[in-house]
């Protein structure tokens, strides 16, 4: 379809509810999404799957996924499984088996928070992707807000400051996670998503008791924006298919909407009569034209196979791609006194 005809939906995925270690019920979380302008939620409780909670909550479509982890060794290899129609917790003991079970169920397995750092006073374990030699992943959680947040809690003072003003801490995906993603892309399509990892937990630090990173706050921050081929039908089954079809195709970008709204960010490739967007492939002999359009000025970089090939300051970048490769775009903006990650788009593959 023409690249201008897609319908953009703001999605927040990787969310915990009262059914695992989150503090909100699904109706409460949907209300927070509605206030923040998020249109689709995918809740992902730990080894818990409650499909009966899927549905429309006002204007918000709530879908139910699952975050799988080995119940015996819970602090490694977390896997987001999106789009399964079954509880896959019985396959959670090994990462490869969890991925295989997700694929058999027609679902999309994404490795969650692949690289973690925990500040000395965060009192949180580092949950890394340890079993790297697995196959069959659909993609990677490039940016996890909660995971990044805890990396900055080095002292009690940081804890106090960021409990009240979390946006002072957040900067973007770790450079090593971006390098990991680029390396994964050399083996074939690997689609990025962002997760809030929302729990809205009660945070205790000495006398301080504060519910930090509320659902409402996180839904206004980092989201995954999907480009759908059709508008809502109102039918949960059909609209669910439409969301997962875009996620399967990688027709998505990650946006830090708190730094400035990212709705409308586009990355388009054209070669002769053919056109595509995030997640697309352009084949054929002629030179491919790539263009980036952003809803506000930023520092834009276009990378080919992980190496920058073009930069621009502003809201547009055009590039003639004479060589095949995996082309992806990233943009940064000034926010709260520093340069922060703003838009990270899934690649266009030029063959
Ligand atoms: Zn996790
Ligand atoms: Zn989680």
Place of tokens 């006194």: 337
Closest CA to 108 of 61, 51, 65, 147: 65
Ligand nearest to the CA of 17: 2
**Distance (Å) from CA 285 to ligand 1 centroid:** 43
pLDDT mean over 264-275: 95
Q: Which residues surround ligand 2, an ion (CB under 5 A)?
A: 67, 197
Which one has a higher pLDDT value, 212 or 218? 218
pLDDT at 27: 98
Ligand nearest to the CA of 43: 2
Percent of the chain with pLDDT over 90: 86
Span of 15-19, 110-114, 196-200, 346-350 with lowest mean pLDDT: 196-200
**Which CATH number describes the domain made up of 7-256?**
3.20.20.140
pLDDT beyond 80 at 349: yes
**Distance (Å) from CA 284 to ligand 1 centroid:** 41
Q: What is the DSSP letter of 220?
A: T
- Calpha distance 88→85 (Å, rounded): 9
Q: Which residues of 44-73 are buried (b: 16+ CB within 10 A; e: fewer)?
A: bbbbbbeeebbeebeebbbbbbbbbbbeee
**Distance (Å) from CA 112 to ligand 1 centroid:** 6
The domain defined by 266-350 folds into Immunoglobulin-like (2.60.40)
pLDDT mean over 48-69: 98
The encoded tokens of residue 307 equal: 């190496």
Ligand nearest to the CA of 75: 1
**Distance (Å) from CA 236 to ligand 2 centroid:** 24
**Distance (Å) from CA 318 to ligand 1 centroid:** 37
**Distance (Å) from CA 114 to ligand 1 centroid:** 9
pLDDT tens by residue, 287-333 = 899 999 999 999 999 999 999 999 999 999 999 999 999 999 999 99
pLDDT mean over 76-103: 97
Ligand nearest to the CA of 69: 1
**Distance (Å) from CA 108 to ligand 2 centroid:** 16
Q: Quick one: 311 exposed, middle or buried, by C-beta within 10 A (0-12, 13-18, 19+)?
A: exposed
**Distance (Å) from CA 109 to ligand 1 centroid:** 13
The encoded tokens of residue 174 equal: 């770790």
**Distance (Å) from CA 78 to ligand 1 centroid:** 5
Ligand nearest to the CA of 195: 2
Strands (E) located in 174-250: 191-198, 202-205, 208-211, 222-228
Q: Enter the pTM of the model.
A: 0.97
Span of 35-39, 74-78, 152-156, 251-255 with lowest mean pLDDT: 152-156
**Distance (Å) from CA 230 to ligand 1 centroid:** 32
Calculate the average pLDDT of the chain.
95
CATH 3.20.20.140 domain residues, the chain: 7-256
pLDDT beyond 90 at 250: yes
**Distance (Å) from CA 219 to ligand 1 centroid:** 18
Q: What share of the chain is helix, strand, coil (3-state, %, to 5)?
A: 20, 40, 40
Ligand nearest to the CA of 14: 2
CATH 2.60.40 domain residues, the chain: 266-350
């Amino acid at each position: 379809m023409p690249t201008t005809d897609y319908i953009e939906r703001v999605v927040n995925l990787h969310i915990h509810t009262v059914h695992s270690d989150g503090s909100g019920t699904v109706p409460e979380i949907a209300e927070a999404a509605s206030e923040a302008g998020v249109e689709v939620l995918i809740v992902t409780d730990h080894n818990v799957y409650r499909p009966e909670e899927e549905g429309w909550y006002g204007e918000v479509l709530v879908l139910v996924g699952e975050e799988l982890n080995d119940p015996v060794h819970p602090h490694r290899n977390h896997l987001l499984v999106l789009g399964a129609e079954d509880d896959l917790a019985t396959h959670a003991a090994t990462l490869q088996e969890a991925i295989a079970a997700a694929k058999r169920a027609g679902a999309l397995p994404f490795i969650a928070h692949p690289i973690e750092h925990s500040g000395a006073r965060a009192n949180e374990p580092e949950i890394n992707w340890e079993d790297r030699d697995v196959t069959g992943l659909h993609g990677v959680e490039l940016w996890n807000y909660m995971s990044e947040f805890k990396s900055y809690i080095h002292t009690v003072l940081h804890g106090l400051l960021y409990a009240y003003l979390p946006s002072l801490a957040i900067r973007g995906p770790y450079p090593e996670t971006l390098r990991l993603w680029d390396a994964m892309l050399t083996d074939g399509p690997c689609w990025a998503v962002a997760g809030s990892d929302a729990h809205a937990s009660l945070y205790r630090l000495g006398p301080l008791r504060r519910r930090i990173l509320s659902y409402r706050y996180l839904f206004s921050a980092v989201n995954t924006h999907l480009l759908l081929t059709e508008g809502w039908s109102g039918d949960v089954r059909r609209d669910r298919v439409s969301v997962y079809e875009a996620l399967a195709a990688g027709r998505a970008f990650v946006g830090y909407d708190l730094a400035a709204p990212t709705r409308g960010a586009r990355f388009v490739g054209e070669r002769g009569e053919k056109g595509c967007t995030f997640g697309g492939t352009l084949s054929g002999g002629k030179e491919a034209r790539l263009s980036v359009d952003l809803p506000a000025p930023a520092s834009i970089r276009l990378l080919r196979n992980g190496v920058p090939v073009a930069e621009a300051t502003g809201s547009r970048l055009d590039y003639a791609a004479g060589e095949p490769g995996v082309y992806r775009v990233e943009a940064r903006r000034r926010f709260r006194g520093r340069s922060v990650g703003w838009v990270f788009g899934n690649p266009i593959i030029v063959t």
